[in-house]
Amino acid sequence: MSFDPVRLEIFKSIFHSVAEEMGGVLRRSAFSPNIKERRDYSCAVFDARGEVLAMGDHMPVHLGSMPASVDAAIRALSLQPGDVALLNDPYAGGTHLPDLTMVMPVYLPRSRRPFFYVANRAHHADVGGAQAGSMSLSREIFQEGIRIPPVKIFANGRIVRDVLELLLANVRTPREREGDLTAQVASCRVGERRLLETVRKYGVRQTSEYGRYLLEYSARMMRATIREIPDGIYRGEDFMDNDGVSDGPIAIRVTIRIRGARAEVDFTGSSPECAGSINAVKAIADSAAFYVFRCLVNDQVPATSGLLRPIRIIAPEGTIVNARPPCAVAGGNVETSQRITDTLLHAMAKALPRKIPAASQGTMNNLTFGGRDTRPHRGNAPFAYYETIAGGMGARPGRNGESGIHTHMTNSLNTPVEVFEHAYPVRVHHYGIRRGSGGRGHYHGGDGIVREIELLVLMQVGMLSDRRKFAPYGLAGGKPGEIGKSELIIKGKNRRVAAKGSFYAPAGAIVRIETPGGGGWGKPAQSNRKNSNADE
């Protein structure tokens, strides 16, 4: 078949639109505000070998690690027409337990093997465990929630009722979980329908060939990008504040070796796996490397598995970036992923000083709470909530950082105040920009957020956050951003809350969270505050 670059662009757009439509169906069908409003989900299309053909414009930490889940499902199960696999086990292709991944094979009529796979991943607001929201400090994965190896949730087009009932019996909000799982199934089915329509229109051979071309094209684009980076060895180092159990810092270290059109990303020297729940599995390290190198590509490169072909990733087993069971891992997906990204960018800043931004807030400020809604009109109904809170973006060469925005490995939104107060027993007292928290520089870092939430009933509250000791770094002489802090206010008295942990708070208590600002870029000048505001 003769290669047509126009046809390649058509297939690139088709596969991407399938992933995007899957996301739209999942969002509109979901029950929980975390998926419907915050859009904490991701969707992707895979070829018959499990290689990514397209990703939706969703969550980088989900998307870069999702191939491990698809591979795990393919290896563990014989997926037939009408089957759908479900998994969340971080040590069998997952990331952390609240991220439930579905994988569905797409069969052509009369074919014996899948022609595609479609997959989605959604963060469920509770999957059981010791803490409401399943995201607080733990010492073992068994405390974090129900752990699901690759299993069939649908078989031959019918739901596997035993698997569903087992899952729902182990979570605090079963009705909401069932609704979100149903939305994930609907999303997969829409993806299947659109891919079959594509094959009917363009034929088996052309669809297959251009899927292969997309992978090769992405690899060539990445090789060209790496070739533009000066050959050399570039090192970066950054630290997590602590693991929540002990107070010592946790080091992330990386050595990036550039040789011609190939790159090696080596995390040797990073701290050992820890007692707390900020351990990351290998898929997280892969995801962060995928994200950083994809950001270096100038053009609109297809987000396929081909991007990683020129890159070798070394993450020594038993370290904070490649933990072993039964380590707790809830924070690895959300907190350690951000620090791995910060470290990679810090190393790349030495190779490309005019291209790399200063550190963004470097945390997702994970807030969870749950309990029983004891207000008379709510009937003692159970509830569980999860959100991440935005912060400051690092300044860039030539521009200020943005304020109050989710950055890097997260791409979620906030829960609108109206929805938040309607769905949960809370009242938002304050929600605004934390002025002056961005680092000064020739270009200023973005400011963080201040969020004050009054709790209207007794509830369990969890925090999983970082950048409370080690500030987001500036670059090229720019100053670091302000660190974050969390407080609990009871009857007008403020007390600091640990960055990682949980507590019970009475009705009337106020949780106040101040998120970090981004680092500044370039040396500050006397008059640059006035001039830099023009970018904001």
Domain assignment of residue 140, yes or no: yes
pTM: 0.94
Question: What's the pLDDT tens digit per position in 254-290?
Answer: 999 999 999 999 999 999 999 999 999 999 999 999 9
Q: Give me the residue label for tokens 């004891």.
A: 374
Domain assignment of residue 373, yes or no: yes
The phi and psi torsions of 153 (rounded to 5 degrees) equal: -95, -25
Angle at 522 between CA 516 and CA 523, to 5 degrees: 100
Question: For position 272, what pLDDT does the model report?
Answer: 98
Query: Are 365 and 512 within one domain?
Result: yes
Question: For position 1, what pLDDT does the model report?
Answer: 61
Domain assignment of residue 154, yes or no: yes
Six-digit token string for 502? 């949980």
Q: Which domain holds residue 515?
A: 357-536
Pairing state of beta strands 311-314 and 262-266?
Answer: parallel
Rounded Cα distance between 387 and 365, Å, is 8
Domain assignment of residue 275, yes or no: no
Domain boundary among 219, 246, 265: 219
Domain assignment of residue 339, yes or no: no
Whether 82 contacts 146, CB under 8 Å: no
Domain assignment of residue 239, yes or no: no
Question: For position 526, what pLDDT does the model report?
Answer: 56
Whether 508 contacts 378, CB under 8 Å: no
Question: For position 300, what pLDDT does the model report?
Answer: 82
Domain boundary among 219, 247, 269: 219
Conformation bin of residue 463: beta by default, left when phi > 0, alpha when psi is -120 to 50:
beta
Rounded Cα distance between 40 and 30, Å, is 11
In the chain, the number of structural domains is 2
Domain boundary among 187, 219, 251: 219
Domain assignment of residue 82, yes or no: yes
Question: For position 533, what pLDDT does the model report?
Answer: 40
Domain assignment of residue 318, yes or no: no
Ranges in the chain, pLDDT < 50:
527-536
